[in-house]
Structure 1
């Protein structure tokens, strides 16, 4: 018997060797099949390790009005209940449509017909996962519903006014559904599916390029085209690189739509997609190279790890995507991406990722050991982390675009990069606050007080017209500075970060206007009474504010009404109510104004009362420079060449505008970063 088996095996081997084309075809088929199976496994969530994240996610009701692709794909991870499927099966109309979807919708964001494709994906996922357990009659009802829904989409030829849906969003949603349901599709349905996928082609830059190539990959798998599969993989991985105008930057931030920080939007999609492909190609001939994997884990650990606190993504990292629950949903998206990357990483890196995931679960009891100060110099963005709190500052310059308004997203965000300062202890301090904000008093910014409409950030003259923006770090401290120049208003703004507080300084604040100028200190939900002392020391919601020098300080706790639609056009009108606390400075008009104040996160009323500000020695706060000595260090921001005078030292000449940290007793620079002057 053994002899017979050996003979048959040898005959088969000789046949394959004598027919290399057959051998190659079989190998290609196996490779495409392997990638296809892996794609399906990742899509349906065959991963025990992610169950803890899924359990946490399932406690948060999914949003009903969604246009952000990151959130849509996050919602696709939710467990699918039989009740949901029964609702879809029982309400589909004979033509394959659903009554509650507006198929004539013309919105450019949150386009309603896309819900139809998301339902198809949900139905096919449920079918694939449960087909062995369902009764024949249940399978028949389910597959008939899927066929109806698919053929409705194929026959209608619906087109959105926003190209992104047609070329990226729709194929990206339906592609996995086609793979899951491929064995049940007729030949005509397969051809129609490929027509949908043909809407995507290689091209563009950054995350758009990755999305398009990912859709081409799905088409290649549907057509069993190994060469196209390899090409799609090459195009996808071509964006895992540094030094391009858009994409991953040298400081581990992410740019899209020009020199614009896009952590929460395109960057988040990039990281989520790349982690998916890292997991998809693992164990195949298309596996990411060690260099590519290293770049992705560096983007995670040197970039994204800085901007998440207790599971909430920093508001300054959201950019235009100020959706309801965006900070939480994007935090979850990041953690799922981190887990996927961890699986293909070296043990030492995997341990760091695991600790990041553990530390950032909502209400985590894991101590925050990831501390320090980082200035993302390519994005005019600073993060400061201590064991108990985090702070962030977002700026803009003539090099870096502050923000954008696209498809009615971010209708009121014009001032969001004018020095916005947020502090976090719990992480939820600004969670879903946007409908109630005074958008001219975003925490930290200096601007006009006015009732006129908020300007459009896409206007040609909306940029900050100064190169004097930057920051520098020394050990666990740092200084960040911004010279604001736009709308005929000018101001020098600086932030000094320590383990206990943020020292905020402003100088040479003036404008060619009679309008009142204000500097917002904070604006957040009201939580309990506001304690104050001599109108100079305040305490509210775990945070203290100490005014060291200013014209007039005003605090207000008021009942506010607002709606999401006011600044995010995709939402339906709905008036909401809440109570807001606001503290801000009103500046004099007759002379250039200035201010100095402290923000003390994670503190108590008693500590604010007892705080001794005498060790903070301000030596300059004028047109040319801002300088302050704290302990043994002198933090300096310079806007024009000048001398810094430190008692007991010879004058320190600083000829280049920038941020500097000097050892006060030795008169030596310990950190220096001239501003990147745009020529």
Structure 2
């Protein structure tokens, strides 16, 4: 909340004061306000990092380099980008109240020398890219450089400032265009990042045209994407690089940039208007994927392989962005967000201080935690189907379960800049179970887990090479998606067409209030290799917790119960695995180190044998279940069908089915039929029959559903649902896999 007094000036005052006030507001967002106890932990962290940068600074013009480990002669190494990031770290130390170097004139003089050096040897308007990463030139360095100059502004000679910023006229003149690839229109996080650099350059140089250009570019981003492609979609999906689910990486970068620009330009002559949609985005796109402050890995793309960017880093950026937006959010949003964020901060125990701190917005977080009028919000619950990015999230009060799928629309895994080298199966139906163990996914899991045995996947056990740079694998099938009902139940399904293998399978998940039922059918391969379905592969850190086995079930203490529902025998493997972050990320500026890390794993799998022809599986995952609950579960669920045509279950008053094509399934109430592909949920209560239907294949125009009970009338419905001769007809053409719901009388 620091710095709000700067906005007491009238918004019409567009002179020097308006530029300076906005710049000072930007600095307060980066470095915090006046020093107080709330900032102690963050201040120490900032001071430590900045002191290390300063201590190791050893300019060598003949090499050239500012730091011995970052020679600047070859831009392909990305060292110049890393050098500017270090300058930002140093500037943050100088500008942060409470550090030993706060506004130290000697430190400012050293920073001026270093920025002069970088301009001469690494980044000026006359240099060529030499096939290095365009991102460093057009976003990475401009963002770090403008932040550095803003933080150091009061200690800089202004003629030097103009010189250092001159390269941005060439490399980042327009948020909407890519200099290195003419014709490319920037979208999503890339446009938001460029808009931020352009806006801050405008504030630093008192150029209102640049600020307006940035404002207009951001305003375009606030509208939902139409059709496919980059940006936020109406169902909450976020796509970057045309075909990848990236809410938790590029999406967070977008949210951070937009939130800060909204705050910085609020009540200024350049205020960003029409921002209502950004508040909806928090609820629709981010809240479902944040579990106690952690960002789910199923939407972090290749960033899961980056050692310095764990789920809590992405979660922290999202939390900071929401705290920033709270300052301008309408009360109808703020009423929900305050308890929600307070719940995240309260339950998160990862950082040394016991919350998501150290946050740049630590004062706001502390104020929220100490505000007795704001309750600690419970975990978000509900079932969310993101049809436009092939993701489904199922959230209950004590656990959450996410499913990452792929199709001809959404890529299975992105490998770029030598990152995510072994993410082969992360989009092949991988499942992500979140429990009270908030360290499971971030405790060195990705370099140590067996990448051939990711939970939820059905895999060919062949050995594979690292994913090549820029390869896009879009499985040649439209089948991926699902449907949700009443925010409590869900169905997800995908057709698996394996990469470089003859393996085929049809996979379905039925998401219940206390369990997830997974069915697989039509599992076939002919390459002479063993095929496995991975029920679970749990990181148990530095030990093997108690494991209990019964007839057709396994219970893993601290995680879940696992029940084989078709009489199959589960194979259990307990092992220690050692890996290196460098194994999965060799990127120039992100690459991990070669320090060996070891973790314990419990793997539960179904072995389908070599070259199965018509193999199947059926199992239940029971998060937080006791041993007794696990042992007793098998009789509480009925599998109605697990064939190539239909997969279906029933439990109490719920029917759930995946019709891969027209078919019929017998239920206790009578036959349930569909004349085309769909996913279907049906729940009968005293009010009638509630149903939800979608077509994940996106091939049908209309689906006729014959319920086990004759239909009398349609009481409530979405558009395109109607009665038809004691059945229901649902228009699904053009729905893009999204649900149609109805309440009918039977």
TM range, smaller chain: 0.7 to 0.9
Deviation of 1:42 after TM superposition, in Å, equals 2.0
* Aligned pair partner of 1:531 in 529, 539, 548: 548
> Does 1:479 pair with 2:491?
yes
Residues 468, 657 of structure 1: 8 Å contact kept: no
Per the alignment, in what secondary structure is the counterpart of residue 470 of structure 1?
A: strand
TM-score (norm 2): 0.78
Per the alignment, in what secondary structure is the counterpart of residue 25 of structure 2?
A: helix
Q: 2: distance between equivalents of 1:543 and 1:133?
A: 49
Distance 1:88 1:574, change over 3 A: closer
> Does 1:583 pair with 2:554?
no
Residues 441, 523 of structure 1: 8 Å contact kept: yes
Q: 2: distance between equivalents of 1:627 and 1:575?
A: 45
Structure 2 equivalent of residue 233 of structure 1: 215
Deviation of 1:483 after TM superposition, in Å, equals 1.3
Q: 2: distance between equivalents of 1:250 and 1:477?
A: 21
Per the alignment, in what secondary structure is the counterpart of residue 46 of structure 2?
A: coil
Q: 2: distance between equivalents of 1:417 and 1:295?
A: 29
Distance 1:201 1:94, change over 3 A: closer
Residues 221, 229 of structure 1: 8 Å contact kept: yes
* Aligned pair partner of 1:605 in 623, 627, 631: 627
> Does 1:41 pair with 2:28?
yes
Deviations, residues 159-208 of structure 1 (Å, cap 9, x unaligned): 68211111111110110221233344335412322223322122122211
Distance 1:107 1:534, change over 3 A: farther
Q: 1: distance between equivalents of 2:201 and 2:492?
A: 48
* Aligned pair partner of 1:561 in 568, 574, 578: 578
Bigger Cα displacement from structure 2, 122-131 vs 303-312: 122-131
Distance 1:32 1:668, change over 3 A: same
After superposition, where does 1:503-522 map in structure 2 within 5 Å? 503-522=517-536
Q: 1: distance between equivalents of 2:13 and 2:381?
A: 53
* Aligned pair partner of 2:677 in 649, 657, 673: 657
Q: 1: distance between equivalents of 2:134 and 2:319?
A: 30
* Aligned pair partner of 1:218 in 183, 192, 200: 200
Q: 2: distance between equivalents of 1:584 and 1:643?
A: 31
Q: 2: distance between equivalents of 1:130 and 1:668?
A: 61
Residues 414, 456 of structure 1: 8 Å contact kept: no
Q: 2: distance between equivalents of 1:178 and 1:350?
A: 33
Structure 1 equivalent of residue 70 of structure 2: 102
Per the alignment, in what secondary structure is the counterpart of residue 161 of structure 1?
A: coil
Deviation of 1:107 after TM superposition, in Å, equals 8.7
Q: 1: distance between equivalents of 2:404 and 2:676?
A: 23
Deviations, residues 648-679 of structure 1 (Å, cap 9, x unaligned): 32x33312212101246999561111125269
Per the alignment, in what secondary structure is the counterpart of residue 427 of structure 2?
A: coil
Deviations, residues 206-259 of structure 1 (Å, cap 9, x unaligned): 211121222122222232111221122111221111124311111112111113
Per the alignment, in what secondary structure is the counterpart of residue 306 of structure 1?
A: helix
Bigger Cα displacement from structure 2, 150-159 vs 340-349: 150-159
Q: 2: distance between equivalents of 1:286 and 1:78?
A: 35
Q: 1: distance between equivalents of 2:606 and 2:173?
A: 53
* Aligned pair partner of 2:636 in 615, 622, 641: 615
Bigger Cα displacement from structure 2, 230-239 vs 87-96: 87-96
Structure 2 equivalent of residue 390 of structure 1: 400
Structure 2 equivalent of residue 377 of structure 1: 387
Structure 2 equivalent of residue 312 of structure 1: 294
Q: 2: distance between equivalents of 1:187 and 1:93?
A: 25
Residues 243, 409 of structure 2: 8 Å contact kept: yes
Q: 2: distance between equivalents of 1:629 and 1:312?
A: 33
> Does 1:174 pair with 2:140?
no
Distance 1:344 1:134, change over 3 A: same
Residues 660, 669 of structure 1: 8 Å contact kept: no
Per the alignment, in what secondary structure is the counterpart of residue 633 of structure 2?
A: coil
Structure 2 equivalent of residue 201 of structure 1: 173
Distance 1:228 1:79, change over 3 A: same
Please state which structure has a larger fraction of its residues in helix: 1
Structure 2 equivalent of residue 405 of structure 1: 415
Deviation of 1:544 after TM superposition, in Å, equals 0.7
Aligned pair count?
Answer: 627
Distance 1:652 1:501, change over 3 A: closer
Deviation of 1:288 after TM superposition, in Å, equals 3.0
> Does 1:430 pair with 2:451?
no
Bigger Cα displacement from structure 2, 628-637 vs 34-43: 34-43
> Does 1:257 pair with 2:244?
no
Deviation of 1:515 after TM superposition, in Å, equals 1.3
Q: 1: distance between equivalents of 2:578 and 2:347?
A: 29
Per the alignment, in what secondary structure is the counterpart of residue 119 of structure 2?
A: helix
Distance 1:346 1:108, change over 3 A: farther
Residues 32, 96 of structure 2: 8 Å contact kept: no
Structure 1 equivalent of residue 740 of structure 2: none
Residues 465, 484 of structure 1: 8 Å contact kept: no
Per the alignment, in what secondary structure is the counterpart of residue 302 of structure 2?
A: coil
Residues 415, 467 of structure 2: 8 Å contact kept: no
Residues 253, 299 of structure 1: 8 Å contact kept: no
* Aligned pair partner of 1:120 in 70, 73, 87: 87
> Does 1:285 pair with 2:239?
no
Q: 2: distance between equivalents of 1:669 and 1:340?
A: 40
CA RMSD of aligned residues (A): 3.0
Q: 2: distance between equivalents of 1:154 and 1:219?
A: 16
* Aligned pair partner of 1:574 in 584, 591, 595: 595
Deviation of 1:125 after TM superposition, in Å, equals 3.4
Residues 340, 378 of structure 2: 8 Å contact kept: no
Gap runs ≥5 in structure 2: 1-10, 124-128, 178-185, 350-375, 701-746
Q: 1: distance between equivalents of 2:242 and 2:49?
A: 42
Distance 1:450 1:638, change over 3 A: same
Residues 310, 361 of structure 1: 8 Å contact kept: yes
Structure 2 equivalent of residue 3 of structure 1: none
Distance 1:134 1:373, change over 3 A: closer
Deviation of 1:355 after TM superposition, in Å, equals 1.6
Distance 1:587 1:362, change over 3 A: farther
> Does 1:296 pair with 2:304?
no
Residues 95, 152 of structure 1: 8 Å contact kept: no
